Structure 1
Amino acid sequence: MITTHGLTRRFGRTLAVDGVDLDVRAGDRYGLLGPNGSGKTTLVRMLLSLVYATAGTIEIMGKPVPRKAHEVLPLIGAMVESPGAYGHLSGRTNLSIFDAAGPGGGRRTRKARIDEALERVGLSGIDGRPVKTYSLGMRQRLGLAGALLRSPTLLILDEPTNGLDPRGIREIRDLMTELNAAGTTVFLSSHLLGEVELFCTRVGVMDRGRLVIQDDLDTLRAPTGRILVDTPDAERAHALLDGRVESRVGDRLVVRHADAAALNATLVGGDIRVAGIAPQQRTLEEVVLEATTSSADRVDAT
């Protein structure tokens, strides 16, 4: 769906994106993570031909971009950074202008498509108020409505839940899941690890312009070779498993063991009550922190 080779972008002496080989497959729910200033937004803008690459190639749906962008863009719904709008006009009027200006829009179906998009993002009840009176969350929903106007094959979103409250975040996540189940490939950049972990099936991590990780989420969160054991008999369990227990906090033990079922049998055989037992997995936060070097918005004394 999206393939890049050696994709690079310089702004003067600043290397914003450094030789990125992106691989987004049809049907993916792909999350691009990275600290502020890591190059995520510049990469997204290059995919949409809003910024041209200094070097490297981009293919979207098998077409070279930007050379064939006019064939690809009508199939893409996108929202980059803060959604733009004419503040003195209503949300519906903004969407009508956006639809008329873009490729692939049809005038006959415009009103129906705008109504449907607004309903899907939770704005079906908006009145004629100008966009400048909208909250940040409403502006974000309006930007998403614009991305959905033409039933996109590919959805490219930059920080889609920015400004939304927890319920709004859940609604947008459910909407993206619904769209993906219907065949839309979703590519989103975000710094919200929890949202990516809940929604995405495949993850890329940017750091200082480079793509340092790209893999399926299940692979990145593979078992660590340790078992988490919850037991009210923690002290006795610790004694029974002496040498294998790496840590204990309250009733929870972290045990060095490869087989949860075999460990459970050992504990039960030793008359130890087991309230819960499961393989320990790495969190996405641990994966990202191991792969990235620093936060770009820190300013430390030298």
Structure 2
Amino acid sequence: MSAVIATRGLVKRFGRLRAVDGIDLDVREGDVYGFLGANGSGKTTTVRMLLGLVLPTSGEVELLGGRMPRAGRRVLPRVGALIEGPAHYGHLSGRENLSLLDAAGPGGGRRTRRTRIDEVLEQVGLAGVGRRPVKAYSLGMRQRLGLAGALLRRPELLVLDEPTNGLDPQGIHEIRTLLLELHRGGTTIFLSSHLLAEVEQMATRVGVLDRGRLVLQDELAVLTAPTGRTVVHSPAPELVRATLDGRVSAVDGERVLVRGADPAEVNALLVQAGVPVRGLALERPSLEEVVLAAAGTSPDRVEAVR
């Protein structure tokens, strides 16, 4: 697959602070790429450099095959973006804000504008309030309107920075469903977030940023692949250990880790020996475990459960 976003040795300094430290992003056509890191890790600075809003101190950025920021006029009409929360005119309606946004940017089409605005308002769940002044919108509604603006040009690439900020659980679910529908329709999505649970439900590839450095980048399926061990839940963990002599690698209460990737074989041995078993499963690391191991980050910096 061709690269949609590629950076080489990307660096951004602010005085003595090295906010982004030599990262090499690889986002491929058809990805839902989860760009993860704690708040303050450099994610938003990176996103702004990708779109040509901030110039890198050194390094290169390619977006849809064009060198940024030089190729911005050519490639940006093919990109939808939502960064650091949307900015709107509060006295205007959502529909009027979208119309102004479409008219101001490159690549908009006046003849299709009304239809496209109707479509995106429907997509983000604002069809019934599009004529209401934005100053009357909740934070979540403003976030939805920002996403509608990112979708106006029917982009090939969608770049989103914390798109579910301000949304309640139902709103988060609806945006997740929308993004997955867009992905199935061929849109490549670059999703910057600190919410691991949300990214784990959508991403095909993951990059982890920690204090400006890219410490991990791979397919999600590879990162969360089975470890080759079986998890046994039993009220008699010592009997499990005695029965599977030499194969038990760890015991934590009723949870026993057994070397071997065939739960059926492990279960047969335990049942034959009369050991009570409440459950068996292949051990798979969660995205939370993978990220925290790579970043050396405490759970309070990257939110894992939502």
Calculate the TM-score normalised by the size of structure 1: 0.92
The CA deviation at 1:257 is 2.9
- Number of the residue aligned with 2:142: 139
CA separation in 1, counterparts of 2:31 and 2:12?
A: 25
- 1:247–1:255 Cα contact (<8 Å) kept: no
Residue type of the partner of 1:240?
Answer: T
Structure 2 counterparts to residues 37-48 of structure 1, below 5 A:
37-48=40-51
Q: Distance in 1 between matches of 2:270 and 2:91?
A: 68
* Paired residues for 1:64-213 under 5 Å: 64-213=67-216
Superposed displacement of residue 224, structure 1:
2.8
Partner of 2:55: 52
Structure 2 letter corresponding to 1:247:
V
> How much does 1:284 deviate?
1.2
1:229 partner SS: strand
Secondary structure of the corresponding residue to residue 77 of structure 1: strand
Q: What letter is aligned with 1:25?
A: R
- Comparing 225-234 and 207-216, the one that deviates more: 225-234
SS of structure 2 residue aligned to 1:152? coil
Matched residue SS, 1:85: coil
> Tell me, what secondary structure is at the counterpart of 1:50?
coil
Superposed CA deviations along residues 159-203 of structure 1, whole A, max 9, x for unmatched, are 011111111111111111111111000001000000011110100
State the 1:150 CA deviation: 1.1
Flag structure 1 segments of 5+ consecutive residues without an equivalent.
none
Contact persistence 2:5–2:64 (CA under 8 A)? yes
Consecutive unaligned residues of structure 2, counting only runs of 5 or more, are: 302-306
Letter in 1 for 2:141: M
Distance 2:147 2:265 in 1: 49
Amino acid of the structure 1 residue aligned with 2:223: L
Relative to 1, partners in 2 of residues 1:293 and 1:247: Cα closer, same or farther, differing over 3 Å?
Answer: closer
TM-score by length of 2: 0.91
Q: Determine if contact 2:232/2:280 at 8 Å carries over to the other structure.
A: yes
CA drift at 1:232:
5.9
The residue number in structure 2 matching 1:20 is: 23
Work out whether residues 237 and 251 of structure 2, in 8 Å CA contact, stay in contact via their aligned partners in 1. Answer: no
Q: How many Å apart are 1:273 and its aligned residue?
A: 5.0
Deviation at 1:49, TM superposition (A): 0.8
Q: Which residue of 2 aligns with 1:223?
A: 226
Identity of aligned residues (%): 64
State how far apart, in whole Å, the 2-side matches of 1:50 and 1:8 are.
14
Question: May I ask how many residue pairs the two structures share in their alignment?
Answer: 296
In the aligned structure 2, how far is the partner of 1:248 from the partner of 1:57?
48
Deviations 1:46-91 (A, max 9, x none): 1111111111111112111111111100000100011111112111
Q: Post-superposition shift, 1:218? A: 1.4
